[in-house]
Structure 1
Amino acid sequence: MTKAPKKVLIVLYYWPPAGGPGVQRWLKFVKYLKDFNIQPTVFVPKHPHYPIVDKSLEMEIPNHVEVIKSSIIEPYTLAQLFSKKDTQSLSKGIIKASKNQNFIQKALLYIRGNYFIPDARMLWIKPSVKRISKLLDQANFDAIITTGPPHSLHRIGFCLKMKYPNLPWIADFRDPWVNIGYHKDLKLTPSSVEKHQQMENEVLASADHITVTSPTTQKEFQKKTEKPVSLITNGFDDTDIVTELDEHFSLAHIGTLMSERNPENLWQVLVELIEEDEHFKNNLELKFIGQISQNIIDSLKSFDLQKHSTFLGYLPHKDAQQQMFSAQVLLLIEKDMTQTQGIIPGKFFEYLQARRPILGIGPQNWDVAELINKHNAGSAFNYHEKDELKVQIKTYFKAFMKGKLEVKSKDIEVYHRKALTEKLVEIIN
């Protein structure tokens, strides 16, 4: 006799046609849950303000999944009345350095940080709790899952847990909360910082299980709660991409590149190698796929690297993957700060799948650096390791000139989306 599938309600903000990394994790979990006899129902906003749109992802929504849409008030839509350009940049996470901010930019950051706690989607909390409560009263769900950021969705989970204490609740953190890197840019007052800490503590204490995407965040939360905290990283899915490698020595970065992700040690090394080696000068190509901060573009110009740079903007997911698979070297860049040690970008796992050498630049004790070494997937450096970085790029270039630039990654199958879904299912059951 076939056992009836478990029913799980998943509360999401990012859902197709949203683009970017935030949508991938749960779109893929939902795809594979049915293979483990779990029936997901997805609760998402209706007409949301997505900073990045990728309609191609709508084709990946499984037919068996019920999608419930609920109206949302988006403050970013109203903020555009003051400055459409600044609002769009803020919603995409592209924040200028403090010294370069004008009055409107500073005001938007202050308002966002201190009047919208935990984030700009806080106005969706009460109506969602009301709508989901009706769903829970009408149907029997075996568990509810919330995922953030935006961490307002965890507040939805918290409120529902207060009303339905016997309903298991899993809180999935794709990024940290109070220790997330951009909090310092939001001009938070002491009382706002305290409110974030209080809300995070309530969620960590009330959820039945917490899932995180990096070892550092797992250790951080394990110190804050007695509830189980499980590590389920992001991953990669099957792909049919077959492409030839770029003819030039291409260093490709896929994804948003914010102001503070500006590896000047890398730009300096590239300039030196251009001056030292005519072959390097004639073959170097920097490729940027995704949203790029103007600060980064200005920095490249200051090093006279714009002539070697190609800016392709945001591409549909499969097109971005093709750029990954064809690149000679894949760049992975993170902010140089303690709060980002536990940030493992979702694209890292697709980089692994592409099996091209990964060149990471980030903070000391970065989780990514450990993974790169563990899987023999490339090399990683901090922002102060200029000489070591130069040696590595020269090594890559010599191999490129001989037609032998490759990487032999190992043991990456554990990051397949189906294998990761199986870990989630163990928690649900």
Structure 2
Amino acid sequence: MTDALQPNSPDDNIAGDRLRRLLMLAYFFPPDTSGGVTRTVKFIKYLHRLGWQTTVLAPDWHQAGRTQGNAAAADSIPAEGEVLRIGLAGDESRLWKSLHRLPLFWRVESAVKGALQYPDRFAKWADDVLPVARRVLERKEHLVLYSTSPPETSHYIALQLKGEFGIPWVADFRDPWTDNVLMYGSPPAWRKRIDLRLEHRVYAAADRIIANTEANRAVLIERHGVPPRKIVTITNGYDEEDFARVSSVPPSDRFRITYCGSFYSTYNPAAFLTALSKFLAREPGARVSLTLAGSACDWARENIHDPNLSDRLELLGQIPSREIFQLLAASHLLLHTYPAGIAYSVPGKLYEYLRSGRPIVAVCDRPS
């Protein structure tokens, strides 16, 4: 990431030994267990080793009842860093979660949010964060501003701060913005025009942009006209130190297949499950188990009712990343799903799958 902060000229304010403190806007942050958390905290960990101090503005996840989560990721945050927990998107609160269980409320809420919330459903967080961020920057201690998305609300906040303080700004895109059909969907034309306008304002105002794949970088250059010199690629990866004490071995009494992460409508293992069910119907004595960790467990509870599979399921729910690494090592086969029609995505967990050294089977609609 330090390459992303190299100056255009010797006169740039982001050059030299003064690069010591960075203000980070990160919505997904421990104890949240979302996939983007790991990239963010590893940036903090290794920037600290290069002499950077980080102040993080993150949500107060305790308001959502989350007091435990990604302990291994949290352990990567240096003690010298500062984490200020501020507010929460409205639909993350306990009350909102309770109302969300009502079907009519959910349908109305979804339609209203999709049409009116700007730039996304996390917009309320910006109202809470901006006053605090202004006070932090008035200390004159922070020489670089860093924002990471999704959600794009982080970049929206950074855009306001850039305009007010002129602070050098690095915008990290863990996924594309309006080009991300998996997350962004197909909004009305009027809404897409509004979102594109904001997206291009971010590209113009940011001093450096980080893409997480070369394909994403190419999209920014070719489709959005971002100058190539402004963009660097920092891929996801794995931290070798996370695997230092991993010593698990696969069980000897069964063949364990493991998946970690989330499933979506176009991002699920339906084809694999069908094949596995047919195999088990033909070989009912086969000692095979399917272990799921993460929010994929919720999908499984709602969608897997096949008697050939239900007795073979092991649903672990959300578990700390330290336990994920042990689980990967304790598996015979790792399952990876790839979203249909997405050419730019490389999920962060794939790097950890590869590091585990276990065989991987991928469910995808094309060679990847």
Q: Give secondary structure in 2 for the equivalent of 1:244.
A: coil
Residue number in structure 1 paired with 2:31:
17
Are the aligned partners of 1:341 and 1:364 in contact in 2 as well (CA < 8 Å)?
A: no
Are the aligned partners of 2:171 and 2:209 in contact in 1 as well (CA < 8 Å)?
A: yes
Alpha carbons of structure 1 residues 312 and 299: separation in structure 2 relative to 1, 3 Å? same
Residue number in structure 2 paired with 1:316:
320
2:97 to 72, 75, 80: 80
How many angstroms does 1:320 deviate by? 1.8
CA distance in 1 between counterparts of 2:307 and 2:28 reads 37
How many angstroms does 1:357 deviate by? 1.1
CA distance in 1 between counterparts of 2:79 and 2:161 reads 28
How many angstroms does 1:317 deviate by? 1.5
2:71 to 51, 56, 61: 56
Residue number in structure 1 paired with 2:247:
242
1:304 to 297, 308, 311: 308
Unpaired runs of at least 5, structure 1: 87-101, 370-429
Structure 1 counterpart of 2:343, one-letter code: Q
Deviations 1:186-220 (A, max 9, x none): x7333222222221111112111111212322221
Are the aligned partners of 1:268 and 1:303 in contact in 2 as well (CA < 8 Å)?
A: no
Structure 2 counterpart of 1:260, one-letter code: T
Residue 68 of structure 2 corresponds to residue 66 of structure 1: no
Alpha carbons of structure 1 residues 355 and 274: separation in structure 2 relative to 1, 3 Å? same
CA distance in 1 between counterparts of 2:306 and 2:120 reads 35
Residue number in structure 2 paired with 1:201:
200
CA distance in 2 between counterparts of 1:49 and 1:335 reads 32
Are the aligned partners of 2:260 and 2:294 in contact in 1 as well (CA < 8 Å)?
A: yes
Q: How many residues of Structure 1 are paired with residues of Structure 2 in the alignment?
A: 342
Provide the aligned C-alpha RMSD in A: 2.6
Structure 2 counterpart of 1:39, one-letter code: Q
Structure 1 counterpart of 2:231, one-letter code: V
How many angstroms does 1:32 deviate by? 1.4
CA distance in 1 between counterparts of 2:310 and 2:259 reads 15
Residue number in structure 1 paired with 2:175:
175
Structure 2 counterpart of 1:74, one-letter code: G
Q: Give secondary structure in 1 for the equivalent of 2:99.
A: coil
CA distance in 1 between counterparts of 2:80 and 2:140 reads 17
Structure 1 counterpart of 2:357, one-letter code: R
How many angstroms does 1:148 deviate by? 0.8
Residue 176 of structure 2 corresponds to residue 191 of structure 1: no
Matches within 5 A, 1:264-283: 264-277=270-283, 281-283=285-287
How many angstroms does 1:64 deviate by? 1.2
Q: Give secondary structure in 2 for the equivalent of 1:301.
A: coil
CA distance in 2 between counterparts of 1:45 and 1:272 reads 45
How many angstroms does 1:146 deviate by? 0.3
Alpha carbons of structure 1 residues 143 and 5: separation in structure 2 relative to 1, 3 Å? closer
Q: Percent identity?
A: 23
Query: TM (normalized to structure 2)?
Result: 0.83
Alpha carbons of structure 1 residues 13 and 264: separation in structure 2 relative to 1, 3 Å? closer
1:260 to 263, 266, 274: 266
Q: Give secondary structure in 2 for the equivalent of 1:205.
A: helix
CA distance in 1 between counterparts of 2:220 and 2:358 reads 33
Q: Give secondary structure in 2 for the equivalent of 1:82.
A: helix
Q: Give secondary structure in 2 for the equivalent of 1:364.
A: coil
Alpha carbons of structure 1 residues 178 and 214: separation in structure 2 relative to 1, 3 Å? same
Q: Give secondary structure in 2 for the equivalent of 1:80.
A: helix
Are the aligned partners of 1:204 and 1:225 in contact in 2 as well (CA < 8 Å)?
A: no
Structure 2 counterpart of 1:110, one-letter code: A
Deviations 1:61-113 (A, max 9, x none): 21111223334452332533533x47xxxxxxxxxxxxxxx544322321221
CA distance in 2 between counterparts of 1:177 and 1:51 reads 29
Q: Give secondary structure in 2 for the equivalent of 1:64.
A: coil
Residue number in structure 1 paired with 2:343:
341
How many angstroms does 1:133 deviate by? 2.5
Residue 51 of structure 2 corresponds to residue 37 of structure 1: yes
Matches within 5 A, 1:125-136: 125-136=126-137
Unpaired runs of at least 5, structure 2: 1-15
Residue 360 of structure 2 corresponds to residue 355 of structure 1: no
Alpha carbons of structure 1 residues 5 and 179: separation in structure 2 relative to 1, 3 Å? closer
How many angstroms does 1:269 deviate by? 2.1
